[in-house]
Amino acid sequence: MFKWNFKYFKLFVCCLLVQYCAAQPAPLDQKYIDSITPRLANRPDDSVKVNQLKTLASMYILVDPTLTIKYTSQGIAIAEKIDYPFGKITCLGQRAFLYAITGEWAKATADVNEAIPLCEQHYPGLLVYMYNLMYIVAATKEDDGEALMYAQKAQNHSSFAALPELRKWPTYMQLGRMYEHLNQIDSAEHYARILENYVLKYGLSEPDLASNSNTLLGSLALRKKEYAKAINFFRLGTNYPSISTVYNILGQTDSVIHYSTLALQNGESQKNFNLIQQAAKQLSVAYHETDTEKAYLYLNKYAAAKDSLYNSDKIRQLESIKLNEQKKYFNLEKATTATRNQLILLSLFVLLVSLVIFLVMLWRNNRFKQRANARLESAYENLQATQAQLIQSEKMASLGELTAGIAHEIQNPLNFVNNFSEVNNELIHELKAATTAGNMNEVLLLANDIAANGEKINHHGKRADAIVKGMLQHSQKSSGQKEPTDINALCDEYIRLAYHGLRAKDKSFNAEFKTDFDSSIEKVNIIPQNIGRVLLNLYNNAFYAVNEKKETAGENYQPTVSVQTKRANDAIEIIVADNGAGIPKTIVNKIFQPFFTTKPTGQGTGLGLSLSYDIIKTQGGEIKVESKEGEGSAFIIQL
């Protein structure tokens, strides 16, 4: 008897669970019933009418199951007519719930099987509630394995995690009750704790949650033989059959009769055959010793209720449903196989047609192969000729640009040489005339002018010579050998050479230079003479920039040039910086081009940075510039 009672506890709680999940009964609102029912007949068939029928059906679930079946059946018919899948699903779920709690598990299964495809197509999230319903059907049949499977399917469904907490507790309750029934106490207590937390949060607004949670806690207490605690929990859950079971264990027959009678009254009013057979059996046993007539009466009620649940007609109905489902599955598989075979045949046909087309194309290709090869060879020869012409044109264009640059740079000093030579020729004629006339003062003046012009011719000739030498340096390949070099010492040596060289040319020149060397840098394999030329050029440019700014910046300006070395990942960086006027953004991308210079005419050839760029590239390094106009520039060499 103890074991049988636990099975009933499971079924009773499941019923309450599914009330919440799929067809939670609404309070019996007579005013609402009186206002809606007369108008239903005249209302057009629409979604509002379906929802009203569903609400009425929910109110009668525990009062008049016949009306619940009537209203849900009408709602299903209208939902099908107007293509309202949500309305049909909820009405089917509500009717399935009623069938389940009244023991009509074959009909409940049929309704759920009809609702599941609609859920899969339109509302996958409602599958959780369908699984909750199938749990109660399996539990009604006392199929523990199937019941646990459906509870787990509900929990593992992809939409379950996204449900609000108030939509999850029925599934947790089902899992807790099933694990309790299977004597897996740790798992049952896990879900009991979850439900206790939910009760603390929502208990006042969700009486079904509190009632079912207390029933689960009572069952766990009963398993531990904590009878007082179990009775307290069952009373909080208004679970009369469970209270009766505890008193039966304690041997308190009067209490068993009292609570079993209350349970029987509820079962008969709700037409709940599970509840009727449990309560009737409890009463039959309780009256066995004291009143055999009543014992026999309740035994007959128990037998009738059990027959209603497990008669042969219901078993045949369920077997018929299973057979129909198998037939549907077989027909679906058959249709799928037929479709797959058609696709295979179609694919073979397409493949055959494609093969024929391919063979025809191959035949045509072979037919015109020689002609196509001849055209291809001719096109290839034309392409080679065109490519050679393009390469030659590109070479000539590059050469023209270089020649134009050289010509432009040399043209200025040559113009001065030519002009002063012509002026000297005229002055020589005038000198001869003055000498013949004996005008010595005039001779002296003319001789001085000729000498001054000669100096200018010499100056501009040297300018042209410097440009040519720079071009030769730019074009010649270094013959130096790479050798381990101390970068810090090289940087220090050349900044001092640059500074003192400028001081030697211009005694008024004065600037500060700073060094910041990374002592951890080891010797680097480079051509020191080439890197020295690069450093010397950068230092000279930096000193020139700060000296130019000093003339306009005022007394507070301190011209400064700095050099820094440091490691940067797998490279070594040399940074030459100044606080001069900086390089304008408009020309910063041009400074490494040959003959480009920002210095006045005659003070620079524009080859220093271009030559430096090429030297660093040949060393496998990189040189770049960072400049802020008005604040200074920094050239960064990476080796």
What is the tens place of the pLDDT at every residue in 280-306? 888 888 887 788 887 778 777 777 777
- Cβ atoms of 216 and 210 within 8 Å: the answer is no
| Residue ranges covered by each domain of the chain | 2-238, 387-475, 483-638
pLDDT at position 523 is: 87
Superfamily of domain 483-638: Histidine kinase-like ATPase, C-terminal domain (3.30.565.10)
- Cβ-contact 24, 212 below 8 angstroms: no
Chain mean pLDDT for the chain: 78
75: confidence class by pLDDT, cuts 50, 70, 90: very high
CB 109 within 8 A of CB 92: no
* pLDDT-derived band at 62, boundaries 50, 70, 90: confident
Could you give the C-alpha distances from 63 to 52, 111, 167, 355, in angstroms and in order?
A: 18, 21, 25, 73
The full DSSP string for 243-307 is HHHHHHHHT-HHHHHHHHHHHHHHHHHHT-HHHHHHHHHHHHHHTTTT-HHHHHHHHHHHHHHHH
Flag whether pLDDT at 5 surpasses 80.
no
Cβ distance 52 to 16 under 8 Å? no
Amino acid at 178: M
- pTM, full prediction: 0.45
pLDDT at 22: 40
Find out whether 192 and 220 touch, Cβ atoms under 8 Å: yes
User: What digits encode the pLDDT tens for the residues 562-582?
Assistant: 999 998 888 899 999 998 888
Check residue 10 and give its pLDDT: 38
Which superfamily is assigned to 2-238 in CATH? Tetratricopeptide repeat domain (1.25.40.10)
Mean of pLDDT values over 120-124 = 89
pLDDT digit string (tens) for 350-371? 888 888 888 888 887 777 777 7
Task: Indicate the pLDDT class of residue 239, thresholds 50, 70 and 90.
Answer: confident
What is the DSSP secondary structure assignment for residue 578, as one 8-state letter?
E
